């Protein structure tokens, strides 16, 4: 019987070497390791052998079974690897080819404008500051000399947050202008102060060629001893010259702002019609880009500064209108339409 077992393992390993397909491998397993295989029959017949021969034949049969099972596992792994290589070859996957390059992105024109504005004002000694977009009524209105029921609040269609204080009043809102950050700067900084604040502001109003509910604004202010209107005009004229070019005309006119005294507006000659009048400028030839003025003494007091010692100027402008004036764009909504044909021009 020992000779029979040695002949069995020799035949089994020789046949296993010739197996190339899963079906052949399964047939080999049934023939040599199945319940009706020759090896299983030998193991079942051990009880009929003498004790001494039973030990020798049983030990050899078990060793042969273990070797065949191990060989079967190895052959299974080899077949799987061969199948994977064949599948990869059939798909003609050339892993040496370079990957496809992703299209390069670019900065949005509003972002480009903000960066350019920052560079201009930083070169004039201003520093850039951030302020909260969700603001308290105090900083957005009260501290800027706009108390409750003041008519100036009607000009800023406010988006209020559904939050009430202990008196049942809504006093949290989406900021309507970046001037709300001026008081925060005065509370944390000491003169001389030169700061610009940039970011989104919100107005509850209908969209048209020059208005959207959310737009970008920059607000700047300076605090020092003996600051005058001449320094305000010099700062804004220098900005206009460097941003729009020396040939663009600039206009100053008196205006009213609760937090400035006196107040002015600055307008730029319309870049679409060249000052002749069109839909964008309302046939006036000019587009207002900012309001400015000398900071009201009450605002300085709210910021913890003595108006008898310090004076200040402030200005705020809509950033979206600046590239419109520079490039002759006649509809502000184009910036927010996600039309890549428009955005790629910049």
Please report the pLDDT score of residue 92 as a whole number: 63
Lowest mean pLDDT among 66-70, 109-113, 307-311: 66-70
Q: Residue 162 pLDDT > 70, yes or no?
A: yes
Is residue 179 within 8 Å of 316, Cβ to Cβ? yes
Please report the pLDDT score of residue 307 as a whole number: 92
Average pLDDT over residues 7-17: 81
32-77 confidence digits (pLDDT tens)? 788 777 777 777 776 676 777 767 777 777 787 888 888 888 888 8
User: What is the DSSP secondary-structure string of 178-190?
Assistant: TTHHHHHHHHH--
Q: Report whether CATH 1.20.1250.20 matches the domain 109-343.
A: no
Which of residues 115 and 47 earns the better pLDDT score? 115
> Please, which residues have CB within 8 angstroms of residue 46's CB and are 6 or more apart in sequence?
54, 57, 58, 61
Output the CA–CA distances (angstroms, integers) from residue 239 to 20, 166, 220, 248, in the order listed.
Answer: 81, 45, 12, 12
Average pLDDT over residues 87-94: 65
Q: What residues does each domain of the chain span?
A: 2-90, 109-343
Which of residues 258 and 45 earns the better pLDDT score? 258
Average pLDDT over residues 117-127: 94
Check residue 125 and give left, alpha or beta (phi > 0: left; psi -120 to 50: alpha): left
Lowest mean pLDDT among 119-133, 153-167, 297-311: 153-167
Confidence tier at 299 by pLDDT (50, 70, 90):
very high
260-285 confidence digits (pLDDT tens)? 888 999 988 877 777 788 876 778 88
Q: Residue 319 pLDDT > 70, yes or no?
A: yes
Please report the pLDDT score of residue 270 as a whole number: 79
Please report the pLDDT score of residue 1 as a whole number: 66
Please report the pLDDT score of residue 155 as a whole number: 76
Q: Residue 206 pLDDT > 80, yes or no?
A: yes
Please report the pLDDT score of residue 298 as a whole number: 92
Please report the pLDDT score of residue 96 as a whole number: 78
Alpha carbons 256 and 240: distance in angstroms, whole number: 22
CA 118 to chain centre: 20
Alpha carbons 256 and 137: distance in angstroms, whole number: 21
Output the CA–CA distances (angstroms, integers) from residue 25 to 13, 38, 174, 286, in the order listed.
Answer: 12, 17, 73, 88
Please report the pLDDT score of residue 119 as a whole number: 95
The token duo for 55 is 């030990």
Average pLDDT over residues 158-162: 88
Q: Residue 197 pLDDT > 70, yes or no?
A: yes
């Amino acid at each position: 019987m020992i000779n029979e077992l040695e002949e069995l393992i020799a035949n089994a390993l020789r046949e296993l070497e010739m197996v190339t397909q899963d079906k052949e491998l399964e047939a080999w397993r049934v023939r040599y390791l199945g319940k009706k295989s020759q090896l299983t029959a030998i193991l079942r017949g051990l009880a009929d052998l003498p004790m001494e021969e039973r030990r020798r034949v049983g030990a050899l049969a078990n060793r042969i079974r273990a070797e065949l099972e191990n060989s079967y596992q190895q052959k299974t792994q080899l077949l799987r690897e061969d199948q994977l290589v064949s599948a990869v070859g059939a798909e003609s996957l050339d892993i040496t080819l370079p990957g496809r390059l992703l299209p390069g992105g670019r900065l949005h024109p509003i972002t480009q404008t903000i960066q350019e504005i920052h560079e201009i004002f930083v070169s004039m000694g201003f520093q850039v500051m951030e302020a909260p977009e969700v603001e308290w009524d105090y900083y957005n209105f009260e501290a800027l000399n706009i108390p409750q029921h003041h008519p100036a609040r009607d000009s800023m269609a406010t988006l209020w947050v559904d939050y009430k204080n202990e008196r049942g009043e809504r006093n949290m809102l989406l900021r309507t202008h970046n001037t709300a950050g001026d008081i925060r700067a005065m509370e944390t900084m000491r003169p001389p102060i030169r700061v610009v604040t940039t970011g989104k502001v919100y107005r509850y109003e209908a969209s048209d060629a020059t208005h959207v509910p959310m737009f970008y604004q920059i607000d700047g202010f300076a605090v020092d001893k003996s600051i005058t209107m001449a320094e305000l005009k010099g700062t804004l004229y220098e900005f206009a010259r460097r941003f729009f070019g020396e040939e663009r005309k600039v206009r100053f006119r008196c205006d009213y702002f609760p937090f400035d005294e006196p107040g002015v507006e600055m307008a730029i000659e319309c870049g679409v019609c060249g000052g002749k009048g069109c839909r964008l400028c309302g046939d006036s030839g000019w587009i207002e880009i900012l309001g400015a003025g000398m900071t009201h003494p009450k605002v300085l007091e709210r910021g913890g500064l003595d108006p008898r010692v310090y004076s200040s100027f402030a200005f705020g402008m809509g950033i979206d209108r600046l590239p419109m004036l520079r490039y002759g764009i006649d509809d502000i909504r184009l910036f927010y339409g996600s039309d890549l044909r428009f955005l790629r021009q910049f």
